[in-house]
Structures are given as structure tokens and as C-alpha cells.
Amino acid sequence: MGKLEGKVAVITGGSSGLALASAKLFVQEGAHVFITGRRQSVLDEAVASIGRNVTGVQGDAANLDDLDRLFEIVRREKGSLDVVFASAGMAEPGRLGEITEAHFDTVFGLNTRGTVFTVQKALPLLNDGGSIIMTGSMVSVKGFPNWGVYSASKTALRSFARTWVSELKSRNIRVNVISPGQTATETHALDEEATRRMEAMIPRGYRGRPEEIASVALFLACNDSSYVNGVELFVDGGLTAV
């Protein structure tokens, strides 16, 4: 029996990258997964690659109407859910002195506001004893030039987790943040020189794979992590440790 046998999960941004790898693993472990993505063609490809026990819902996690439609589909098809993995996000550089309102609003609108309302709108459907996972980033504790707004948008998620574990304790709902380091995905493509420089900073010596992040997401989603609550778990090859 799989670690998520009979469970229902929602993964926003699940049409690509580490979220897609997580959706595939959740299904392998017995879950039915609802994934979202903004581009229908990419979403359709993701659904086809997962193959079974998956529902694709086109939408933008920064759009509250799209979130309402997502959870109405979940309610209609499954009635409730057990795991909310708020993984939709974006990274865009912006140096102090050059930051625009549009840049700030776009980054915080998806990474922070979108995460808050994804979780809030899921709550009426989330079963007691369920798991909430948010995708943060190791930049929440590192100071990389040009990435101040992005870093702040992800740092906020750690604060939400601290508060929500107290607010949801009567329902035994766990809340955790998974914060990946540099991961080799299509949205984080680097040229050979940039890859060499980045990997020289990572104690393990090379970037992560989406499947490695997915295995940690599975841990936080299932009962293996039943006593893990309110943490920010860095999955970064040791980069934040040095």
C-alpha cells in the first residue's frame, strides 16, 4: 500500500518542475492529485505524463476566481482533500533602486498572496489531520544581490507556518515549508559557466533534481512526518549550512 493510498492532494503549479515531480510521486503512492497551471497546453502535457489519478485545472494561483473554481472542482469530484501543496511561484530579479511597483506586486502577488489564499480557500475541504506544504526557497536565509523582493516573498511563508500551526492545532493539521536550493528544472536553466559557479557553492557539489525535492514533499505529506510541524525544511545540498 502506498504512503498516500486513498488520499486527495492539490498541487498548485503542478504542471512543471519540482511540483510536477511531486505530483507523479504522490500518484505512485496512491493519491489522486489535482494540479494547476496557467498554460493549458503545458498542463495537458503534465496530465498525460502522470497518466492516471490526476485532474488538471487551468488557472493562476494569484487569481482568486481561479482558486475558487479549483476548489469547487475538488469539492464536486472528491468532496474533501488531505494534502494542500501550495507550490505555484515565480522568481524575477530586481535590484534595490530599480524595483518597480509592477515587479513587487507580481512577485508578492503569486508567491505570497497566492499562497495565503490557496491555503485559506482549501481549508473548508481539508480533512482534520491533513497536511499543508508551502514551497519556500533557501534564499529566505541567504542574501543574494538582485533577489531582495523574491527572497522576502518566500521568507513570509515561514512566518505563516509559525502562526498557522497554532491556529489549526485543534484540527491536527500540520503546516510545513519546503525550501529547495538550486534545482535543475526547465525554469532554472543555467549555462555551463553559471552551473559550474553555482555547484561550486553547494557542499554536495551539484544541483538538486526535481525528484529529490519530490521525495521530501512526500515525506511532509504522509504520516512519516506526523511529528513534524511548523518547520522550514531546507533541501539544498547544504548551501544554507555554509
Catalytic residues, by residue number, are: 150
Backbone angles phi, psi at 79, to 5 degrees: 85, -35
CA distances from 102 to 37, 187, 194 (A): 22, 21, 28
Contact, 84 vs 133, CB < 8 A? yes
Q: What is the dihedral of CA 115, 118, 119, 120, to 10 degrees?
A: 120
| Cα pseudo-dihedral 172, 234, 134, 84, rounded to 10 | -60
Angle at 73 between CA 60 and CA 53, to 5 degrees: 95
CB 81 within 8 A of CB 10: yes
